Amino acid sequence: MRAMDVMTTAVVTVGPDSTVQDLAKLLSERGISGVPVVENGRLVGMISEGDLLHRAETGTERRTARRRWRWFDPGLEEARNYIKEHGRTVRDIMTREVISVDEATDLAEVATLMETRRIKRVPVLRDGMLVGILSRANLVRAVAAISREPATGAASNDRQIRAKLLAELNGREWARVWPEEIVVQDGVVHLWISDTRPAAEREALRVAAGNVRGVRRVEEHVAPVPMFPAF
């Protein structure tokens, strides 16, 4: 499986000139911990709740002792901390050196990247443009979707099935799903559905998935709470 097979495509983003207060409101209202920073369609940074831990408004500025190693410039660290604590826009406090992957990147590479770099999410790019985001939750769902049966289909067919299903559901009032809640593996459609959804909507989703040409089976995974985008 590749990044394009399980990535979140409905990505919540912010602009570099958004205020820190607007960013904090966005993260809290959407129930997410981080977002890409996009300018003119291109990824220019990443910002997360960790960037808001030490802020002057809440009195949580860093209180660190000066280091005296020859190779270390304590003034530079203090300057960077001051910007993080007092910056007023996303541009001031975002991480500019962003680790990203291409949409065709194998999930094994993505998993290794997350582990070695100790990051929770990776932006997915196509020709330098942001097309999705992959989180650890996306990878967990991919593992859950892997069948123990012998593989009979091609990955390209799975992608076509997923694309056709998303197109069928697009714009339908009863089909409120995030793209990452649908994973197709070897012709089997896996649907992650909140247990609060009406039975008629759940049945309609199963019918829609089962009617896509090439689908062998539809499996439903019931989530105990309403699901947020997995970033």
- Please name each of the domains of the chain with its CATH number: 3-56+91-139 (3.10.580.10), 146-223 (3.30.300)
Q: pLDDT per residue over 79-117, tens digit each?
A: 888 888 888 899 999 999 899 999 999 888 898 888 888
Greatest Cα pair distance, the chain, in angstroms, is 68
Q: pLDDT per residue over 20-69, tens digit each?
A: 999 999 998 888 888 999 998 889 999 988 888 888 787 877 776 555 55
**225 vs 174, 196, 197, CA distance in Å?**
18, 7, 10
Integer Cα distance of 223 and 193 in angstroms: 6
Neighbouring-strand partners of residue 192: 221
Q: pLDDT per residue over 117-155, tens digit each?
A: 888 889 999 988 899 999 888 888 787 776 555 455 567
**77 vs 74, 119, 209, CA distance in Å?**
5, 22, 53
What is the DSSP-derived secondary structure letter of residue 137?
H
Residue type for position 26: L
